[in-house]
Structure 1
Amino acid sequence: MMAIKRSNCFHRSRGKDPCHMNSNAYMIAFGVSEIILSQIPDFDRLWWLSIVAAVMSFTYSIIGLGLGVGEVVENKRVKGSITGISVGTVSESQKVWRTFQSLGNIAFAYSYSMILIEIEDTIKSPPKESTTMKKATFISVVVTTLFYMLCGCFGYAAFGDSSPGNLLTGFGFYNPFWLLDIANAAIVIHLVGAYQVYCQPIFSFVEKMAADRFPSSDFVNKEIKIPIPGYHPYRLNLFRLVWRTIFVIITTLLSMLLPFFNDIVGVLGAVGFWPITVYFPVEMYIVQKKIPKWSTRWVCLHMLSFACLMVSVVAAAGSVAGIIDDVKVYKPFRTNY
């Protein structure tokens, strides 16, 4: 949202105005929208949401890739180097920490495993849900990897050591400003829905636990039907209203306190990658297939799990180091970008 306003500001001033602004108003607006959306019951039944998300993803990915390719063609050369950002532009220690942080960013790109079972629960059969999910997961990973690699490589080739952390919102491109606005609007729409998709399993878990703990509580279990003309009555649950609102408010405040995109993404990717994406699936596979202990396959699977654990540890360390550096110059709720 800030990038859209800033691109228009740059366009009006022809680059003379630095267009600094505060992110708080935009984060609050995002939080308010999520409070409203979080009160929608049976959010998983909104089948069209996945189509909207897919369209938005391809929209901003293709625009970013196209602008990167266009910039390389315009420059008539490839900027940057095979070893990445040069020591001198950053210190040696910063380069090491940023390398570790980038592993967390990559891990975050494959963090869908936490909602994999939720998705599988919505799939019709036949064929078997697992068969459909194997095919869908394979296609998703291939397409995701292709787009991330192309966007990352062409972005670096276009801007070299001066590449922003996020090519679209980090303002690697200034023109055409209207195309950037479309891409950033697609990101906003995508993330508004993505927030809900990732939070729904948490919401469901807490609400089920509360219902089991307090089965006779009207506050937790009673649904008040509010008539809506021309549509089904809205089912208002007071516990859902209070708890989900508090959850969104807390996450919004945390975002306002720590608005460091790449570093936070790195931490989240590092923390969630090994246990959810690697460790539990590997252990379940070993049990399901009854793989003998200390067999070649058992050893290889555990070596894979350990290697991914090390990646998560160094990625978390690099991202935390980045956050510490950011905090040194950041004043909560007051720093402008």
Structure 2
Amino acid sequence: MEMNEVQNERKKEVDIAVVANDGALLDDDGKPKRTGTLWTAAAHIITAVIGAGVLTLPWVMAQMGWILGISYIIIVGTVTLYTSNLLADCYRTPDPVTGKRNTYMEAVKTILGGKMHLICGIVQYALLSGAAIGYTITTSVGVVSIQKINCFHKKGIEAPCQFSNNPYMIGLGIIEIFLSQIPNFHKLSWLSIIAAATSFGYAFIGIGLSLATVIQGKGKSTSLIGGNSEQSSEDKVWNILIALGNTALASSYSQIAIDIQDSLKSSPPENKVMKMANKVGLSAMTIIFLLCACSGYAAFGSNTPGSILMGSGFKEPFWLVDLANVFLVVHLVGAYQVIVQPIFGVVESLVGQRWPKSSFISREYSIGICNLNLFRLIWRTIFVTIVTILAMAMPFFNEMLALLGAMGYWPLTIFFPIQMFITKQKIRRLSIKWLGLQTLNFIFMVISIATATAAIHGFSEAFHKYKPFKYKM
């Protein structure tokens, strides 16, 4: 009876909700009409997962070797697809097609109850904020890499080419302040498509250079089990654990998955379209991950650098490596916005609910082809400024991001989707299906704890190595 009432109420809302006060079409629940499609959602996913992390996968492969490396990339991609599809059915509750739209936190609160949503929110927004700082650092590294490669090309490989990252972090911050005025995911599709296209660009340049090296017979020796003979056993273990975490983090987008789903048209049902987008995005991700990891490892062998297009990676042909880094910078500029939109959305939603009649918070001013909101302008500018300052102050934050990633992948990608699925489907405790799901949950919890330990170890070393605001590369 309750389900029928929800469905009837939704049908009634569809009939009466046609136009907003400013003439814009509304969705069935009175919110602005969404225009997202399978391909825009897939572009958002690709932008999130095929990031700068893909260039580190040859190093990951070097630590784990051919057998474990290839197997783990495929396993992580498969598990992420499975749990992402479980999460897609949690976007609307109680019914996945006709129920109320939720954020990730709201879905956890509605389905699991208690204080679980608070844990979810803390992990989700800490991870997203950390990613914004990490993207700021990585973007500056991309620009500096262009300068270094040009310097090496002109002065020789032994030249003392060092440059400060700070000016480029500031420049990125200014650009992101302007881009952050894009209101929400619904208006972000064009930027995400550009970012997705450039991510393919630098990934395939890295793959192409690696394959060319192998074809020319310049590839280095590799191993089925990975590792470097010059490493101690302890270092090998730490590196394998970090490699496990890097692969899982590179494959994760659950922290923004429901926000991506919320950009889809209401018809056909969002959960069905999102599941197809998950397949498209994660299939593309797995293929590119394997190509990049395998070709890069074959080219560099056991001494594979941390990134094959930055620092100690490829340096010639310099113009092509420069182009790859330009693609990288453009991608990260767009990916930054994809990552921070959920933070912007939750803050503005809470403030709007608290002061619904404030013109400062709710009024939109039309300026040319865009709308300007004073609260959005001020608060998002403050957020981007803080992120930029933290990135400049803590260049070792990539190690902290690895820690956040290790702690965030398991709860957001594995634990909450599985627990919500078990609760919604009323799966009987200790049944075969329950045991299978909880075994998967336990395995990735152990991996998460192990990789978090390795990340803390790396962070403690980096803390003593770098000086705030004085980082050069």
Alignment map for 1:47-66 (pairs within 5 Å): 47-66=189-208
| Separation in 1, partners of 2:472, 2:302 | 23
1:332 and 2:473 correspond = no
| Separation in 1, partners of 2:402, 2:216 | 32
Aligned to 2:372, the other structure's residue is in SS state: strand
1:84 and 2:226 correspond = yes
**Counterpart AA for 2:455:** S
One of 280, 287, 297 as aligned partner of 1:156: 297
**Counterpart AA for 1:72:** V
The aligned length equals 331
Contact 1:102 1:266 survives alignment (8 Å) = no
Aligned to 2:223, the other structure's residue is in SS state: coil
Q: Aligned pair in 2 of structure 1 residues 204, 77: CA closer, same or farther (>3 Å)?
A: closer
Aligned to 2:352: 211
Aligned to 1:318: 454
- Which whole-Å deviations, capped at 9, do the CAs of 1:296-337 have from their partners, x for residues lacking one? 101111111111111111111111211211222211222321
Aligned to 2:381: 245
| Separation in 1, partners of 2:177, 2:417 | 33
Contact 1:106 1:269 survives alignment (8 Å) = no
Aligned to 2:373: 236
Note the residue ranges of structure 1 that are not aligned, 5 or more in a row.
none
| Separation in 2, partners of 1:80, 1:18 | 31
| Separation in 2, partners of 1:265, 1:42 | 25
1:299 and 2:299 correspond = no
Alignment map for 1:130-279 (pairs within 5 Å): 130-219=271-360, 221-223=361-363, 225=365, 227-228=367-368, 231-232=369-370, 234-237=371-374, 239-260=375-396, 263-279=399-415
Aligned to 1:111, the other structure's residue is in SS state: coil
Aligned to 1:304, the other structure's residue is in SS state: helix
**Counterpart AA for 1:225:** Y
Contact 2:396 2:466 survives alignment (8 Å) = no
Aligned to 2:373, the other structure's residue is in SS state: strand
1:46 and 2:188 correspond = yes
**Counterpart AA for 2:323:** I
- Which whole-Å deviations, capped at 9, do the CAs of 1:265-285 have from their partners, x for residues lacking one? 422321221111111110121
**Counterpart AA for 1:85:** G
- Please state how far the C-alpha of 1:113 moved relative to its aligned partner: 1.3
Contact 1:103 1:266 survives alignment (8 Å) = no
Root mean square deviation of aligned Cα: 2.0
**Counterpart AA for 2:200:** F
**Counterpart AA for 1:223:** R
One of 306, 309, 315 as aligned partner of 2:445: 309
Contact 1:105 1:265 survives alignment (8 Å) = no
- Which whole-Å deviations, capped at 9, do the CAs of 1:242-291 have from their partners, x for residues lacking one? 32222212222222233247634422321221111111110121122221
Q: Aligned pair in 2 of structure 1 residues 215, 306: CA closer, same or farther (>3 Å)?
A: same
Q: Aligned pair in 2 of structure 1 residues 261, 17: CA closer, same or farther (>3 Å)?
A: farther
Aligned to 1:6: 148
- Which whole-Å deviations, capped at 9, do the CAs of 1:132-173 have from their partners, x for residues lacking one? 221221222222112112212221221123322111123411
Q: Which moved more, 1:276-285 or 1:206-215?
A: 206-215
**Counterpart AA for 2:365:** K
Q: Aligned pair in 2 of structure 1 residues 77, 222: CA closer, same or farther (>3 Å)?
A: closer
Q: Aligned pair in 2 of structure 1 residues 103, 133: CA closer, same or farther (>3 Å)?
A: same
Contact 1:270 1:313 survives alignment (8 Å) = yes
Aligned to 2:241: 100
| Separation in 2, partners of 1:322, 1:258 | 14
Contact 1:75 1:158 survives alignment (8 Å) = no
**Counterpart AA for 1:110:** S
**Counterpart AA for 2:372:** R
| Separation in 1, partners of 2:227, 2:462 | 19
**Counterpart AA for 1:257:** A
**Counterpart AA for 2:467:** K
% identical equivalent positions = 44
Contact 1:108 1:265 survives alignment (8 Å) = no
Q: Aligned pair in 2 of structure 1 residues 158, 114: CA closer, same or farther (>3 Å)?
A: same
**Counterpart AA for 1:185:** V
Contact 1:279 1:305 survives alignment (8 Å) = yes
Contact 1:3 1:171 survives alignment (8 Å) = no
Aligned to 2:64: none
| Separation in 1, partners of 2:224, 2:400 | 26
Q: Aligned pair in 2 of structure 1 residues 58, 170: CA closer, same or farther (>3 Å)?
A: same
| Separation in 2, partners of 1:246, 1:80 | 48
| Separation in 2, partners of 1:49, 1:254 | 25
Q: Aligned pair in 2 of structure 1 residues 318, 87: CA closer, same or farther (>3 Å)?
A: farther
| Separation in 2, partners of 1:150, 1:306 | 30
| Separation in 1, partners of 2:245, 2:393 | 21
Contact 2:218 2:299 survives alignment (8 Å) = no
Contact 2:297 2:304 survives alignment (8 Å) = yes
Q: Aligned pair in 2 of structure 1 residues 77, 59: CA closer, same or farther (>3 Å)?
A: closer
